[in-house]
Structure 1
Amino acid sequence: MSSGLTTPGVYYITNLRSSTVLDMDPSGAVHWRVVADPNFPDMWSLRNMEAGQYLNIWQNGSETRLAGSNVQTFWWLAQQHDQKNTTAICFPERQDTRVADLHEGNSGNDIPIKLLTWNGGDTQKWIFERISD
């Protein structure tokens, strides 16, 4: 996987498999401010504009999901160089091969996004659509 995003801004983020929009809750919090880490320009924070929270990790036993948090976290966003120009949202440690995976590619409300080992499937690929600066 190579580095991806190069332009900060506000984005819609949708899953390639289901076209499900990455949101914080069913209320429709779908705008994400994407900002580079000033010390590591290929690492990015994703802050939900409506909820004011950052995309972060939530653990419960052996399960790891993505959830909102007040703690700013930076992610490695890896461009996939495919027809849809998708991006993988990767765990911050590059030696770790886990990425954001829409659980079973479902499109309903409250479908968890889990942190799972990269397998190259469409449930692990996200489309970043820039909508403003």
Structure 2
Amino acid sequence: MSGDEIEQRKVLAVVTNYGVEQDELLVPLEHLRGAGARVDVAAVSMDDILTLVGDKDPGKTVRPDLTLDDADPADYDLLLIPGGTLNADSLRLQNATNGIIRSFTDSGRPVAAICHGPWALVEAG
């Protein structure tokens, strides 16, 4: 994908509000946004997202753009599922997450799942 193409892409990152691994969320966001993609972060609620470092130490706080329930997967070209043991374990139990994942996989759009993120893919079938 060329630089011009990435500037026209919309990415949806899905997380819980506690337990996402800091670098598995922030580093991809930085690179995608730096390349010109529009990236929205959807969380369970509009409360701050409290990231972790090494699944235990407090990391940076991130403000979500929307909730999982409000995310329309049809508006996006790529789905990003960051890891973090706590994040992945809780995220896969959210009905909205399963619907978002199925929308992407059923339509053949790409899904990027990092570290423990694939747990959500398994849960969604």
If the length of structure 2 is used for normalisation, what is the TM-score? 0.27
Larger % of helix: which?
2
If the length of structure 1 is used for normalisation, what is the TM-score? 0.26
Larger % of strand: which?
1
